[in-house]
């Protein structure tokens, strides 16, 4: 029976009712949800939709664009530009902020998004997602790139859609983190996961271990201790997961705890990590904090980072709060010299491997 179920619209109207500061936010998030529904339809058609494969073009990140990167970006722009709610948009797929076309009224919100996160997974039918962040635009003038350079703690709302076996929308307006599942029969998102809470402790970590030789010593130390399991200082065994789709990793952490890391590469000092601050790290950090977890660069709270560039990258450590605190402590100990650099047993003198010079 469907009667009585809480739809996304009902939930959002109730969450924002009576709060003048959040007026129109529900309407904007419903526009985002409309974009998510059309992206979900495209993604779920797979090869039948003719959308798979790459274009001969690179995006601003220097990554080869998939056809779906372009189509999903258009879906976000088209659904959010016309309603008079948004003042400007930043997308992973666009070098400059998107200006609202003159035929539409300009609103008071700034929307930053990654329309198809984890898109390398699309051709192999593994979960991908859309990530978004909402800020207020306070000036009268149209926004430019600097208008978006605000710390993540100023976000009014943040969320992601996960295109997995079911399509889910997980969002926060600063009053907890809540999950909705798309009921395809009626075309509505239904509240299925209210008040998500991340356990403070975990025995599961997620990191791309192929980069191990490029990590900083505190991350090598942490992961080395997890891998040593019950025979090491942690005295218990850990499990590892890596989907290469941040949305899917964060969703798992919101469901059952865990810690996710994408640290900086010492191999490439210009790229401070891989993930983008404005439309990946910050919205995920707000969702994680609102669910009782923690999100950090390893050297400070993610939501306090002052952005300098709309496409800036940042090291990311997020998830169960006690593990994030431990990783921050390892960074502090390393930075003040209280720590011996961790040397992976893989790279000791008798190992098959040799540590590469970085
Ligand atoms: O660009 C973002 C992203 O696809 C994330 O969704 C994912 O966590 C990461 O990149 C995967 O990176 P890698 O291919 O280095 O494992």
Could you give the residue range(s) of every CATH 3.40.190.80 domain in the chain? 204-335
* Per-residue confidence band for 265, with pLDDT thresholds at 50, 70 and 90: confident
**Residue 4: its pLDDT value, please?**
73
Residue nearest to atom 11 of ligand 1 (CA): 244
Cα-to-centroid distance, 33 and ligand 1 (Å): 24
**Residue 341: its pLDDT value, please?**
58
Task: Give the pLDDT confidence of 49-58 residue by residue, as tens digits.
Answer: 887 776 656 6
165's CB contacts (< 8 A; 6+ apart) are none
Task: Give the pLDDT confidence of 123-148 residue by residue, as tens digits.
Answer: 899 999 999 999 999 898 999 999 99
Cα torsion through 89, 265, 317, 249, rounded to 10? 70
Lowest mean per-residue pLDDT among 17-26, 129-138, 308-317: 17-26
Beta bridge partners of 134: 111, 157
Could you give the residue range(s) of every CATH 3.30.540.10 domain in the chain? 8-193
Residue 330, classed as helix, strand or coil, is helix
User: Which CATH fold topology does 8-193 show?
Assistant: Fructose-1,6-Bisphosphatase; Chain A, domain 1 (3.30.540)
**Residue 344: its pLDDT value, please?**
56
**Which residue among 131, 206, 246 is best mutated to probe the pocket of ligand 1, counting the most ligand atoms within 8 A of its Cβ?**
246
CATH class held by domain 204-335: alpha beta
210's CB contacts (< 8 A; 6+ apart) are none
Closest alpha carbon to 168 in 252, 99, 84, 110: 252
Mean pLDDT of the chain: 91
Task: Answer whether residue 346 shows pLDDT above 60.
Answer: no
244 lines ligand 1 (CB under 6 A): yes
**Residue 169: its pLDDT value, please?**
98
**Residue 19: its pLDDT value, please?**
87
């Amino acid at each position: 029976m469907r009667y009585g179920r809480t739809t996304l619209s009902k939930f959002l109207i109730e969450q924002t009712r009576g709060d003048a500061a959040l007026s129109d936010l529900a309407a904007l998030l419903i526009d985002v949800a409309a974009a998510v529904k059309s992206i979900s339809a495209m993604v779920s058609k797979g090869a039948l939709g003719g959308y798979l494969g790459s274009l001969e073009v690179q995006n601003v990140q220097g990554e080869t664009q998939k056809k779906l990167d372009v189509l999903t970006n258009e879906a976000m722009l088209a659904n959010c530009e016309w309603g008079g709610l948004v003042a400007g948009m930043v997308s992973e797929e666009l070098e400059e902020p998107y200006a609202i076309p003159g035929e539409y009224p300009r609103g008071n919100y700034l929307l930053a998004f990654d329309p198809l996160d984890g898109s390398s997974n699309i051709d192999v039918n593994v979960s991908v997602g859309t990530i978004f962040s909402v800020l207020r635009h306070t000036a009268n003038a149209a926004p430019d790139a600097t208008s978006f350079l605000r710390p993540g703690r100023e976000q009014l709302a943040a969320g992601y859609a996960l295109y997995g076996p079911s399509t889910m929308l997980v969002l926060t307006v600063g009053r907890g983190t809540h999950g909705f599942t798309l009921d395809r029969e009626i075309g509505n998102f239904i509240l299925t996961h209210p008040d998500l809470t991340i356990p403070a402790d975990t025995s599961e970590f997620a990191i791309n271990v192929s980069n191990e030789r490029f990590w900083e010593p505190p991350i090598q130390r942490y992961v080395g201790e997890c891998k040593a399991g019950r025979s090491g200082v942690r005295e218990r065994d850990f499990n590892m997961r890596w989907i290469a789709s941040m949305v899917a990793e964060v969703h798992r952490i919101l469901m059952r705890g865990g810690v996710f890391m994408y640290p900086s590469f010492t191999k490439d000092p210009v790229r401070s990590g891989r993930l983008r601050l404005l439309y990946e790290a910050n919205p995920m950090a707000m969702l994680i904090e609102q669910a009782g977890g923690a999100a950090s660069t390893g050297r400070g709270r993610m939501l306090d980072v002052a952005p300098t560039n709309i496409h800036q990258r940042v090291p990311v450590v997020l998830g169960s709060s006690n593990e994030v605190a431990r990783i921050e402590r390892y960074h502090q100990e390393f930075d003040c010299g209280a720590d011996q650099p961790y040397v992976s047993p893989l790279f000791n003198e008798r190992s098959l491997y040799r540590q590469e010079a970085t």
